[in-house]
Amino acid sequence: MENKQKELDKGAAASDAELDKGSMHWSQQLAQEVVQKAKEPYLISAGMTTSGPCHLGTLCEFLYPQGIKKALEMQGKKAKYYFVADIFDAFDGVPSVFEKYKSVLEPHLGKPLYVVPDPTGKTASFGEHFMTEAQEIMKHFGVEAQIIKINEVYAKGAFDKYAKLFLQQEEKVKEVVARTSLRKELPADWSPIMPVCEKCGRIATTRVTEHTDESYKYACDKDVKYTKGCGHKGENKLSDHKYKLNWRLHWPSWMDYFGTSIEGAGVDHHTRGGSWDTLLGIFKEIFKKEPPIGYKFGFILFEGKKYSKSKGTGMGVSQLMKLLPPEAIKYMLLKPDLQENIDINPTSVNMLRLLEDYQGAVALIGADEESMSRADRKRLQAARLSKIHEWKTAFLDVILYRQLYGSWENVAKESKDAAGVKYLSHYIEEWEKAGFIPEEYSYKYMPHKAEGKLKEFFESLKDGIQPIEIHNAVFEFAKANSIQPGDFFKSIYQLLLGKDKGPKLGKFLHALGVSRVKKDVL
């Protein structure tokens, strides 16, 4: 199966070049730009400060680079994906999930995340706790990234040459940062480096007081509202590796150090005066190099509201992961244009629509791309990027069978897709628990004897016909007898279920067996 998939992917990639750019999925457009501008093997980097639980917005930060990696690999190119866990950043607030550990954690405010203890004791630090959680989520979604703990890169001295360069050219660097961040001038205590206080361990509260190219003096006396410095004054060499670069310099430095071909960021980093502008300035004016390719992506909204890392909004990733297979969530996030804001509103109607859209897109794999509409080509690419597991039976049909046959063993037998049903059963059980089964699919089969037109209709129904033919037969019969089709559907549901609505009738009668239903109602 995997080989077949690879062949299909290759075949599709070959024709990509012939398609005009506008009809390409964003992953294909970016892959094309990478091939044109960068050198193989390509490096896609991304990074995140793991200071709280993942939400759907952070999920995109893992998935987009993976999409570009896959798009490059589909063209037979070599690509690596580094995910930077930015855990040298200061711990600046207790996330709501850790509210109960507040008293343990608060004394550590202002320290680097990799130094703050993990109150659950599961990992080595607070930063690694959420990094590990992110890694597990990546695994669930088939993301193949190499995780880089940035504190370890600092510890081996990899950033020393950048720190030295920035300190040597401090005035020029300050001018570039101020100009590109649309500030007249930077605060007097601004420095390219942020020392870690040797006495209290904080990084948020220190400032450099004087420096040479190799060493610096600092004071730990800043008040950053959530914590205060201890008053210590110290001196260190760059080669002691007890500093981190200022964010606006840290970001371009990691890309230069890793040799990044492409890295994305949210639109907030890409506004005028945002950190991407500084990155371009640092590459051109300080490193004297061409910058990597950048791309920006929109926000993820939940029922119209922005997600917040500290508070979270609505349904979290872990809840959504219980309700939907990973491939459907990926498809939902990877299909839209990158810069579009994605609004997630997980009602059962919306989730069923998504699942149907996804399964339809999977069915396009292997079809002739040339004759597809632009929209379908993009759906096809999103499906290729999303696919991990496979199932044949439509999600809604599994819900229908579940209601009809009860046990999963019977559902598997009747659907003739045992593996697919087994895979989906966990999700459908969650739908049952959470009350997401649509009302039409919550029913009991209690047939009555048919009379009049209904009797005539069932008599006319032939055994062994397909769901769509049953559906059409209802319409045709209603039309021929001058009955509103909607009313006729209603009376059939009343006859079989004792209510006005039910599952899609064609599928339902087909699943029950036309001959059985006829026996029951005639």
361 in contact with Zn ion (CB under 5 A): no
Q: Which helix (H) or strand (E) holds 453?
A: helix 452-460
The b-or-e profile of 274-311 (16+ CB within 10 A means b, else e) is bbbbbbbbbbeebeeeebbbbbbbbbbbbeeeebebee
228 in contact with Zn ion (CB under 5 A): no
Q: Which of 34, 38, 46, 197 binds Zn ion (CB under 5 A)?
A: 197
Token pair listed for 446: 């209690």
CB of 110 to Zn ion, least distance (A): 8
Token pair listed for 9: 């992917």
DSSP 126-164: HHHHHHHHHHHHHHHTT---EEEEHHHHHHTTTTHHHHH
CB of 92 to Zn ion, least distance (A): 16
Select 242 or 510, whichever has its Cβ closest to Zn ion: 242
Query: Cα separation of 167 and 283, whole Å?
Result: 16
DSSP 63-82: HHHHHHHHHHHHTT--EEEE
Select 223 or 463, whichever has its Cβ closest to Zn ion: 223
From the list 351, 366, 456, 433, the residue with the least C-alpha distance to 396 is 351
Select 53 or 195, whichever has its Cβ closest to Zn ion: 195
Q: Which of 38, 204, 220, 362 binds Zn ion (CB under 5 A)?
A: 220
Query: Considering only 4-12, 142-150, 223-231, 316-324, which stretch makes contact with Zn ion by CB under 5 A?
Result: 223-231
CB of 382 to Zn ion, least distance (A): 50
224 in contact with Zn ion (CB under 5 A): no
CB 180 within 8 A of CB 174: no
# residues contacting Zn ion (CB under 5 A): 6
Amino acid at 473: A
The site map against Zn ion for 484-503 (x = CB under 5 A) is --------------------
Peptide bond into 119 cis (omega under 30): no
CB atoms within 10 A of CB 442: 15
200 in contact with Zn ion (CB under 5 A): yes
CB of 243 to Zn ion, least distance (A): 14
Token pair listed for 404: 């009809």
Q: Which of 230, 267, 315, 418 binds Zn ion (CB under 5 A)?
A: 230
| Bridging pattern class, strands 342-344 and 206-211 | unpaired
CB-based contacts of 401: which residues, under 8 Å, 6+ apart?
A: 393, 410, 411, 414, 415, 421, 511
Query: Considering only 212-220, 240-248, 300-308, 357-365, which stretch makes contact with Zn ion by CB under 5 A?
Result: 212-220
Query: Considering only 72-80, 192-200, 234-242, 402-410, which stretch makes contact with Zn ion by CB under 5 A?
Result: 192-200
Select 199 or 479, whichever has its Cβ closest to Zn ion: 199
The C-alpha angle with vertex 289 and arms to 286 and 290, in degrees rounded to 5, equals 130
CB of 90 to Zn ion, least distance (A): 12
CB of 221 to Zn ion, least distance (A): 8
Select 66 or 206, whichever has its Cβ closest to Zn ion: 206
Token pair listed for 76: 């037979």
Query: Cα separation of 272 and 188, whole Å?
Result: 23
Select 208 or 220, whichever has its Cβ closest to Zn ion: 220
Query: Considering only 7-15, 172-180, 224-232, 337-345, which stretch makes contact with Zn ion by CB under 5 A?
Result: 224-232
User: In a 3-state reduction of DSSP, which class is residue 47?
Assistant: strand
The C-alpha angle with vertex 114 and arms to 206 and 237, in degrees rounded to 5, equals 45
Query: Considering only 23-31, 66-74, 218-226, 323-331, which stretch makes contact with Zn ion by CB under 5 A?
Result: 218-226
Select 114 or 141, whichever has its Cβ closest to Zn ion: 114
Question: Where does 243-348 show beta strands of DSSP type E?
Answer: 243-245, 262-266, 293-297, 300-302, 305-306, 342-344
Select 200 or 208, whichever has its Cβ closest to Zn ion: 200
Select 197 or 300, whichever has its Cβ closest to Zn ion: 197
CB of 234 to Zn ion, least distance (A): 8
Select 201 or 298, whichever has its Cβ closest to Zn ion: 201
CB of 202 to Zn ion, least distance (A): 5
CB 53 within 8 A of CB 130: yes
Query: Considering only 36-44, 198-206, 364-372, 482-490, which stretch makes contact with Zn ion by CB under 5 A?
Result: 198-206
Select 200 or 279, whichever has its Cβ closest to Zn ion: 200
232 in contact with Zn ion (CB under 5 A): yes
Half-sphere exposure of 312 (CA within 13 A, CB side): 17
Query: Cα separation of 250 and 159, whole Å?
Result: 9
Query: Considering only 193-201, 240-248, 474-482, 514-522, which stretch makes contact with Zn ion by CB under 5 A?
Result: 193-201
Query: Considering only 225-233, 241-249, 319-327, 377-385, which stretch makes contact with Zn ion by CB under 5 A?
Result: 225-233
Query: Considering only 24-32, 177-185, 196-204, 311-319, which stretch makes contact with Zn ion by CB under 5 A?
Result: 196-204
Where does this chain bind Zn ion (CB under 5 A)?
Answer: 197, 199-200, 220, 230, 232
